[in-house]
A = this chain, B = another copy of it.
Amino acid sequence: MKSIDAQGYKLEVGSLLDSSLEKLLTEKYATSKKIILVDDNTYEFCLDALITNFEALKEAEVIILPVGEENKQLSIAQNVWEALTDYRVGRHDVIINLGGGLVTDMGGFIASCYKRGCDFINIPTSLLAMVDAAIGGKTGVNLEHYKNQIGVFAQPIALYIDPSFLETLPDEEYLSGYAEMIKHGIIKDEQLFQDVISCMNGNFEFNEELLIRCIEIKNNVVHEDPLEENVRKILNFGHTIGHVIEGHYMESGISHGHAVAIGMVMEAYLSMKLNGLSDVSYAFIESSILSFYTIPNFTDDDIQAMIEMLSNDKKNDANEIRCCLLEKIGECTYDHAVAESLFLETLMHFKNYQINMN
């Protein structure tokens, strides 16, 4: 059991059975109602392990969220709030989010706004949620195609990362999580980037030490700037373009990590044009990432729609599109105002690039 110092809450990595969860449930929440939020998948593959091992959860109410980014909507949150009301959940009860990023993002938002704030515990089950989504207090739901447009910053009471849940994951989920691990390396730690790529090249053999290094990077950056006023912005590397790709291709089910991976290649390309990233570093990033993640075939209409969404990104300020750019691998800077025309040029470049590859 590895305990990581997180501001104001418990963050533990290791088997749930060795964690402080049992104590928390039987002491702090001894008389509280417990609600477990799952999605269709974690209901099937993860819930039993939790309920079987924790007597205190035998009577818990279980609420199932529908899987899929297109269901990360206010209307679903409203259904859950109505269910919590029906279950007579009070503000001293506790909600346990058992699932991937959708469950921890939505569950955190649902708990934080229910009766102006109810405690929640995050137990991420996907690699993406373990290394990224469940850490750092960002909660929310999408509004139409705008990712996490509605949400709040709110920390869980505790965050338990148990790698044994990863055994339940399908391959594409692994790949989605690895994209954020790549990002943590690219922005902060070149050696980590190389180690993640080596691990992926070596058949993704799982490595808990790598997981912990990624968690520590995320946690440290968030700790330094919880409300994303300055340095935390570097965690958005790859996400300015990644979010619009994810939004635009939501119906075709592109994963968050896949979209961010492509976003990182494109933002690395912008970094080369604007921020002094060397050609060699760019080429290494491009070849490393594109050997695992493919770029969708953009039409001109697709590009037009994505440019439109870009101009409404949360990270913008005073009508400028703001973006993080690399200086070199392991060093990222933020608040670059990038002209819309350069994004257009970049998307066009990769449109042709894709055609050339085929």
Residue ranges of A at the interface with B (Cβ–Cβ < 8 Å): 31-32, 74, 78, 81-82, 85, 88, 90-92, 112-117, 138, 140, 143-144, 146, 148-153, 227, 311-312, 314, 316-319
The one of B90, B143, B312 in contact with A314, judged by C-beta atoms closer than 8 angstroms, is: B90
Q: A32-B318, A88-B312, A318-B32 are contacts. A81–B143 as well, Cβ < 8 Å?
A: yes
Q: How far is the CB of A282 from chain B (nearest CB, A)?
A: 30
Chain multiplicity (copies) = 2
Contact between A81 and B149 (Cβ–Cβ < 8 Å)?
yes
Contact between A85 and B314 (Cβ–Cβ < 8 Å)?
no
Contact between B31 and A143 (Cβ–Cβ < 8 Å)?
no
Contact between A152 and B117 (Cβ–Cβ < 8 Å)?
yes
The one of B92, B143, B152 in contact with A152, judged by C-beta atoms closer than 8 angstroms, is: B152
Inter-chain contacts of A227 with B (CB < 8 A):
117
A85 to B312, CA, bound (A): 7
A150 to B78, CA, bound (A): 9
A51 to B258, CA, bound (A): 47
| 5 A-B residue pairs with CB within 8 Å | A81-B149, A90-B318, A116-B148, A116-B314, A117-B152
Inter-chain contacts of A91 with B (CB < 8 A):
314, 317
The one of B31, B81, B140, B319 in contact with A318, judged by C-beta atoms closer than 8 angstroms, is: B31
- List 18 additional A-B contacts (Cβ < 8 Å) besides A85-B149, A116-B153: A32-B318, A78-B143, A81-B150, A82-B143, A85-B143, A85-B144, A88-B316, A88-B319, A90-B314, A90-B316, A90-B318, A91-B317, A92-B318, A115-B149, A116-B138, A116-B140, A117-B152, A152-B152
Q: How far is the CB of A71 from chain B (nearest CB, A)?
A: 15
Chain B residue at smallest Cβ distance from A138: B116
Q: How far is the CB of A86 from chain B (nearest CB, A)?
A: 9
Contact between A116 and B82 (Cβ–Cβ < 8 Å)?
no
Choose among A88, A116, A138, A151 the residue with the greatest number of B CB atoms under 10 Å from its CB.
Answer: A116
Contact between B314 and A82 (Cβ–Cβ < 8 Å)?
no
Chain B residue at smallest Cβ distance from A82: B143
Inter-chain contacts of A113 with B (CB < 8 A):
113, 140, 150-152
Chain B residue at smallest Cβ distance from A146: B85
A92 to B322, CA, bound (A): 13
Contact between B312 and A150 (Cβ–Cβ < 8 Å)?
no
Inter-chain contacts of A149 with B (CB < 8 A):
81, 85, 114-115
Inter-chain contacts of A112 with B (CB < 8 A):
152
A-B pairs with lowest CB-CB distance, top 6: A115-B314, A116-B151, A31-B318, A113-B150, A92-B317, A90-B316
A339 to B85, CA, bound (A): 20
Q: How far is the CB of A76 from chain B (nearest CB, A)?
A: 12
Q: How far is the CB of A265 from chain B (nearest CB, A)?
A: 26
Inter-chain contacts of A152 with B (CB < 8 A):
112-113, 116-117, 152
A311 to B87, CA, bound (A): 11
Chain B residue at smallest Cβ distance from A227: B117
A152 to B91, CA, bound (A): 12
Inter-chain contacts of A74 with B (CB < 8 A):
74, 78
Chain B residue at smallest Cβ distance from A92: B317
A81 to B149, CA, bound (A): 9
Chain B residue at smallest Cβ distance from A314: B115
Inter-chain contacts of A316 with B (CB < 8 A):
88, 90
